Amino acid sequence: MCSDFDDIRPYTDDEIPEAMKRIADWDMFPQIVRFIYPDLSIDTARQRLLATKTIHQFQATFMNDAIKRIIHETTDGFTFGGLHHLRRGVPYTFVSNHRDITLDAFLLQHVLMEQRGETSHIVFGQNLLAMPIIEVLFRSNKLIRMERGGSPIAFYRSLQHLSKYLNRLVCDEHQSVWIAQKNGRAKDGHDQTAPAIIKMLTLGGEGDQRQILERMHLVPMSISYEWDPCDTMKAAELYNSRDGQYQKAPDEDVKSVVTGIIGPKGRVHLEIGTPLRPRDLVPTDGEDLADHVATLIDQGIQAGYRLMPTNYAAHAILGGRPTVGRFTQHTIDRLIARAEALPNPDMRRLLIEAYAAPVDAKR
């Protein structure tokens, strides 16, 4: 059955069997199985996958097992908090800081699945769908495609189209959604909500902006990584983007996805903040509503952000007031070693500054 949103929506349950077949036929499937299920034969895993008939089945087994394996193999512990803020049966729009291309949202999926037996939809940029099989995997996980680029008129129309779909999901179908607080990851360590994201949410709803945002049930979400597997890549991109002419290599996003998944992360914490209340959505002194809401989201994200020893150590390296007991010399040595892998002092400083930025934001 066709819909107005076929170009951006995830798969339906009816499309899952064909999607599972494509994943099972993927030449990387044996490697993925060996990672997720080291004690399971490839044939048994393939049979289980081909017996999967719904998105929920796929997420509750293969995807959730994959996230658990990533947590076990690449972190020194994953913690979460704030789930008590959410009321059962209420759909939410999780507005999150953005550090890892895929794991930020998938870790939320894991928490929701483990604790409530449900998941949210995820808004991802079209740049991640360059490989057809990646699109199959993502659309099987409730991915919503966000177009980027094009003429100003075409871009506005694509945003309006996306907004209509998000409003339908949350307000009419009572489905939750995850979206990053701005376009792209925070490569410099500064988590700041783009008012344009808030405005986008209102483009396709019914009523005035405040009424639309009230029905979207906005909630800030924070994700904190002790170590960023992509830190050197981000610092190099920041440095090379100074003149605004930087062009990503064709496989750069895929490389970031893989590095973020398999790289060591130390401790990781996810915190769900307090949902914005109707009375919060009232700007004062003539402030623009989108700016006001973006500030509230920023405050919620910073309140939930968990500072790690790497953050305190980087802040001390840059001359900040040392915080006794918050880090060790070993952490400083590791940070400096990571920075020294970069080819020039400016890149190295960008890496250290990215780790230090959350300390100043908290204060």
Alpha-carbon distance of 174 to 196, in angstroms, equals 24
Of the candidate ranges 73-77, 183-187, 209-213, 235-239, the one whose mean pLDDT is the lowest: 183-187
Query: pLDDT tens digits, residue range 230-241?
Result: 999 999 999 998
Residue type, 117: G
CA distance 284 to 279: 12
pLDDT at 224: 98
Q: Give the residue-averaged pLDDT of 306-310.
A: 97
| Whole-angstrom distance, CA of residue 55 vs CA of residue 119 | 10
Residue 1 has pLDDT above 50, yes or no: no
Residue 307: what pLDDT? Answer: 97
pLDDT at 72 over 90: yes
Q: Residue 314 above 60 pLDDT?
A: yes
Q: What is the average per-residue pLDDT within 323-336?
A: 89
Question: CA 170 to CA 54: how far, in whole Å?
Answer: 20
Percentage, residues of the chain above pLDDT 90: 84
From 214-218, 308-312, 359-363, the region with the lowest mean pLDDT: 359-363
Q: Name the band, by pLDDT with cuts 50, 70 and 90, for residue 322.
A: low
Average per-residue pLDDT for the chain: 93
The predicted pLDDT at position 216 comes to: 97
Residue 355 in tokens: 């780790």
Neighbours of 105 (CB within 10 A): 28
Name the more confident of 126 and 316: 316
Q: Rounded to two decimals, what is the model's pTM? A: 0.95
Q: What is the mean pLDDT of residues 206-220?
A: 96
Q: Which carries the bigger pLDDT value, residue 248 or residue 198?
A: 198
Over 70: is that where the pLDDT of 79 sits? yes
Enumerate the domain spans of the chain.
78-227+264-306, 310-362
Task: Average the pLDDT over 305-311 and give the result.
Answer: 97
- Tell me the average pLDDT across 305-330: 89
Task: Give the residue carrying structure tokens 């996306």.
Answer: 162
Beta bridge partners of 125: 146
Task: Count CB atoms within 10 A of the CB of residue 197.
Answer: 20
DSSP for 19-44, please give it. HHHHHHH-TTHHHHHHHH-TTS-HHH
Residue range 155-177: average pLDDT? 96
> Token pair for residue 303?
């309140």
**What whole-number distance in Å separates Cα of residue 104 and Cα of residue 180?**
9
| pLDDT of res. 324 | 65
pLDDT for 2 beyond 70: no
CATH number belonging to domain 78-227+264-306? 3.40.1130.10
> Could you give the percent of the chain with pLDDT greater than 70?
98
Strands (E), the chain: 78-81, 93-96, 121-125, 143-146, 177-180, 218-225, 268-272
Neighbouring residues of 114: CB distance < 8 A, sequence distance ≥ 6: 64
